[in-house]
Amino acid sequence: MAMKKSCMIACLFLAGTYGSSKALGDELAKQLHDALTHAQTNRRTPIEERKEKYDVLERTCGELLRQYSKPEEHGRIYYKLAMHYSLTDSKERKRALECARKALDLPIGPRDRLRTYIRLGDAIQIANRGVRGEEMVRVRRAAVMPYLTGLKESLKYDIPDKNPEVTVARPDRYHGPPGTEEFREAMRKIEVYNKALERVRFQRDMILRRDTLTSQIASLYSRMPFATEELRTLATDVLQDEKAIKRLMDAVEEPIGKRSKKFTGSDVNPPEIIDDLPKPDVDLPPPKDHPPVASPAPVRPRELVPPPKSMENVEQGAPANSGDREMTPPRVAGAQPPASASPAPQARPQDRSKGAGILIGGCVIAALVLAACVCQLVRRA
């Protein structure tokens, strides 16, 4: 009995740590998971198969909307659809925007609301990717509104600036009998620890989502043309919180300052459109005086055929050029070479021994291969 109670306490502890037992056995969550798993596609999925899967997903979610009537259950269905369609190609992103707006109109959890705002702004950016100039300014102004609204929602939950730590000590296991004062004390400690752990996890998740919203806004408004005053006006109208506005503007001005320093060499923000970048005002050191390097003497190419001798030099018996060599008379067929000619090169003993070694080695290898073949034939016989 005591062992059974101890196992029950351990199960309650794990359920409080990783989620309630009701959430783990939720029938709606299971049905949504099965429907979304069946509708998973990738870029290599054929168009017809993808369309068929999306039709099945829509029919399944329509049946779930008729089966479950609570507003929070409808919000959960639309939230899952928005998350699924936001990861697909551009043709289904309009459906992602519709599901995201419907989910935000229904009661969903704080984590899911902030994540929906993030996906809503991302879908607007991806649907208008590649725009430039005035069109980019218009799309940026439209995409930043879901991010700002998500930051406004995050102000309701008193999110700290840094990730908190669990301040409650982890309770020890209880191995005593149930129904005693020690048993009730152990249950109380487990409940207190689970609540503190869930609170810390909630704050960390909200910090992550708040930082994601801020970084998305900084990415939008750190592109040229810069419009920090426009963002400040929009943030003031939406957030209405000085601390949040300052945190947001600091996150936006930091990348703008780095980019300005890269372009202009100073921390001053450049104008919205830069036509001519100023040259860096740097005094370069004067060139050093190096000793003159003597040019190498021209190399005369080797002449394959000596130049002809002039008639005057031939009569005097002197060569036309002191650097010319004497020409050898042409060899007549059948004539013996002169005594001064060098004999034909003879093969050295080392070359002969090397060729003999290669021949012997080849013969040995051939004999080994032949013997192996004979052995195989004998074994088969």
| Alpha carbon distances (Å) from 6 to 1, 11, 12, 16, 172 | 9, 9, 10, 15, 12
Across residues 191-198, what is the average pLDDT?
91
> What whole-number distance in Å separates Cα of residue 184 and Cα of residue 187?
5
Tell me how far the alpha carbon of residue 300 is from its chain's centroid. Answer: 60
pLDDT of res. 206 = 94
**Confidence bin at 258 (pLDDT 50/70/90):** confident
Q: Of 210, 251, 208, 211, give the one whose Cα is nearest residue 228.
A: 251
Run of H or E residues at 215: helix 181-221
Across residues 236-265, what is the average pLDDT?
81
> What whole-number distance in Å separates Cα of residue 332 and Cα of residue 335?
6
Residue pLDDT, tens place only, 263-285:
555 544 444 433 333 333 333 34
Residue boundaries of the structural domains of the chain: 25-108, 136-270
Average pLDDT, the chain: 74
> What whole-number distance in Å separates Cα of residue 249 and Cα of residue 107?
31
Residue pLDDT, tens place only, 297-329:
554 444 444 444 444 444 444 444 444 444 444
> DSSP labels for 264-294?
HSSSSPPPSS-SSPPPP---PPPPP-PPPPP
> 120 Cβ partners below 8 Å, 6+ apart?
82, 97, 100, 101, 104, 146
Q: pTM here?
A: 0.59
For the chain, the helix, strand and coil percentages under 3-state DSSP, each to the nearest 5: 65, 0, 35
Share of the chain above pLDDT 90, in %: 21
Q: What letter does residue 116 receive in the DSSP assignment?
A: H
- Count how many Cα atoms sit within 13 Å of the Cα of residue 145 in the half-sphere of its side chain: 5
Burial of 209 (0-12, 13-18, 19+ CB in 10 A): buried
